[in-house]
Amino acid sequence: MARGWESKEVESQQALAEESMRARKSRITAEQLERNARVHLLQLDVARIERELAAATHPRRVAQLQAALDYVHEKLRQVD
């Protein structure tokens, strides 16, 4: 009977160690969270500018939007 209890205890310890290891791997640092937020905001900017660009008809507005899109793409490259 003691052997069964010991093996269950070992099994429990192994499961706990595995869970702890998974938790450490899945932790995201504050820096990573900040970077992810920056990337997400820049991607939203890209989507908005592309929508406006698709609707723009005036050549100056198209040029402005294209410059803005190029700028945001450059910022995205810098973040990566």
What mean pLDDT comes out for the span 72-79? 95
- Tokens 């499961």 identify what position? 15
Closest among 79, 55, 59 to 67, alpha carbons compared? 59
Residue-wise pLDDT for 20-56, tens only, equals: 777 766 677 888 889 999 999 999 999 999 999 999 9
d(CA 41, CA 76) in angstroms, rounded, equals 10
Helices (H), 56-79: 59-79
Q: H or E stretch including 26?
A: helix 2-26
d(CA 18, CA 26) in angstroms, rounded, equals 12
